[in-house]
């Protein structure tokens, strides 16, 4: 079987540990560099959204497709078709705790939402295709294991298309290190 990797990034209507967190925006990229992203036009953001969501909203430009949930799901199904692996950057507990500022509750929130990108995909694509993976592979862990130098992050790194492409670039670095026997 041929391995088909999809690099994914999602953004949400609220911070991921919140019950108000729903899929807002998704970015996908495959190993060949094809990418796709769209906003969920059905998503609603509270007027009192936190700074993270406010910053994210500044990245949405007119060229970003806006699709209702059903069309978004169909587009993801089409793009991912014969996927065998989903990959995303999963922060360490330490970096998550620093970012979230949740104090002692950071560990339990981290356990609930460390694979949030896959959770958001699974909430979108129902029913989940039986041939699709049910786990998210961790680029952070793979990069650490391989000793990979991270690609530079652009100022608009929160943009899901940009982040999915960054994930692909990092994976490519990891693969080169492994092929050269450096990992």
- Six-digit token string for 34: 């094809």
pLDDT bracket for residue 48 (50, 70, 90): low
Rounded distance between C-alpha atoms, residue 70 and residue 165, angstroms: 25
Helix (H, G, I), strand (E, B) or coil at 177: helix
pLDDT bracket for residue 77 (50, 70, 90): very high
pLDDT bracket for residue 128 (50, 70, 90): very high
Three-state SS sequence of 41-73: CCCCCCCCCCHHHHHHHCCCCCCCEEECHHHHH
**Angle at CA of residue 110, ends 141 and 85, nearest 5°:** 45
**Angle at CA of residue 153, ends 149 and 155, nearest 5°:** 165
Of the candidates 123, 148, 31, the residue with the CA atom closest to the CA atom of residue 84: 31
Rounded distance between C-alpha atoms, residue 146 and residue 170, angstroms: 11
Say if domain 5-179 classifies as CATH 3.30.420.10. Answer: yes
Q: How high is the pLDDT of residue 58?
A: 81
pLDDT in tens, 140-151: 999 999 999 999
Q: How high is the pLDDT of residue 52?
A: 75
pLDDT in tens, 13-38: 888 998 889 999 999 999 999 999 99
Q: How high is the pLDDT of residue 57?
A: 80
Q: How high is the pLDDT of residue 145?
A: 95
* 44-53, 68-77, 174-183: segment of lowest average pLDDT: 44-53
pLDDT bracket for residue 94 (50, 70, 90): very high
For the chain, strand residue ranges (E) read 5-12, 23-30, 35-40, 65-67, 85-88, 136-138
- Six-digit token string for 138: 């961790």
Q: How high is the pLDDT of residue 15?
A: 87
pLDDT bracket for residue 44 (50, 70, 90): confident
pLDDT in tens, 135-174: 999 999 999 999 999 999 998 888 999 999 999 999 999 9
């Amino acid at each position: 079987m041929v391995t088909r990797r999809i690099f994914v990034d999602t953004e949400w209507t609220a911070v991921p540990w919140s019950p108000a967190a729903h899929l807002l925006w998704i970015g996908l990229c495959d190993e060949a560099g094809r990418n796709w992203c769209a906003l969920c036009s059905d998503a609603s953001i509270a007027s009192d959204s936190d700074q993270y969501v406010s910053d994210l909203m500044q990245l949405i430009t007119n060229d970003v497709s806006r699709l209702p949930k059903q069309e978004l799901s169909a587009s993801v199904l089409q793009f991912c078709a014969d996927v065998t692996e989903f990959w995303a950057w999963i922060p360490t507990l330490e970096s998550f705790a620093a970012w979230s500022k949740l104090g002692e509750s950071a560990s339990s929130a981290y356990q609930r939402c460390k694979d949030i990108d896959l959770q958001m995909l699974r909430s979108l694509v129902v029913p989940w295709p039986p041939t699709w993976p049910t786990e998210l592979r961790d680029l952070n862990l793979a990069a650490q294991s391989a000793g990979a130098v991270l690609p530079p992050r652009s100022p608009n790194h929160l943009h899901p298309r940009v982040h999915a492409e960054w994930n692909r670039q990092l994976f490519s670095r990891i693969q080169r290190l492994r092929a050269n026997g450096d990992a």
